[in-house]
Amino acid sequence: MPGETLDLAVIVGSVREGRFGPVAARWFTEQAERHGGFRVSVADLADTPLPAALPPVPPAVEPDMPRPAAMAGLTRRIAAADAFVVVTPEYNRSFPASLKAAIDWHWSEWRAKPVGFVGYSGGGSGGVLAIEQLRQVLGELHASTVRDCVTFPRYYELFADDGTLKEPEGAEAAAKTLLDQLEWWGTALRDARRRRPYADVS
């Protein structure tokens, strides 16, 4: 329906003690709410036990396989979303194991939905290496990653102690570009899934 808002899930990918992820997620959530095209909720992976060991038959083979009861809320959140933004650090030139576990425990929930990224790092890359690897992983699950992202290199220099950006203009412009792309792709893919379930073309 024209003007219908999209359900956007912002996923906090790090579960590390002392992590910066919730600060970046709060900042991005404010940008998404200000944008006006989304109903925004946050899914923090630190709130959900994510077993590293998958069952003998993985979700890619049996999408409706039973999952641990404690994962039910996360599964519902991913399934209900029209679009995602993954907030990820860069650890050792890649993304954290918590994100890989959350992705691997699901399958059909990601399909034919757009994903954007907010990356951060203590070095100069801003999380780009983690983001590029996530594009490959999520592409295998038939998700569609949007081109632009938001990155925070040396994040500890960019944010004040209260979680606000010291110089917000560039990051806010990048967030708007990302959100505009997510709104376009999210609307197009949601409408397409309603007309024809994506499972019919696999």
Residue ranges of the domains in the chain?
A: 6-201
Q: Is 22 exposed, middle or buried (0-12, 13-18, 19+ CB in 10 A)?
A: middle
Q: What is the mean pLDDT of the chain?
A: 94
Which residue's entry shows tokens 């990601």?
A: 110
Q: pLDDT tens across 79-136, in order?
A: 999 999 999 999 999 999 999 999 999 999 999 999 999 999 999 999 999 999 999 9
Quick one: which H or E segment has residue 137? helix 128-140
Q: What's the CATH fold of domain 6-201?
A: Rossmann fold (3.40.50)
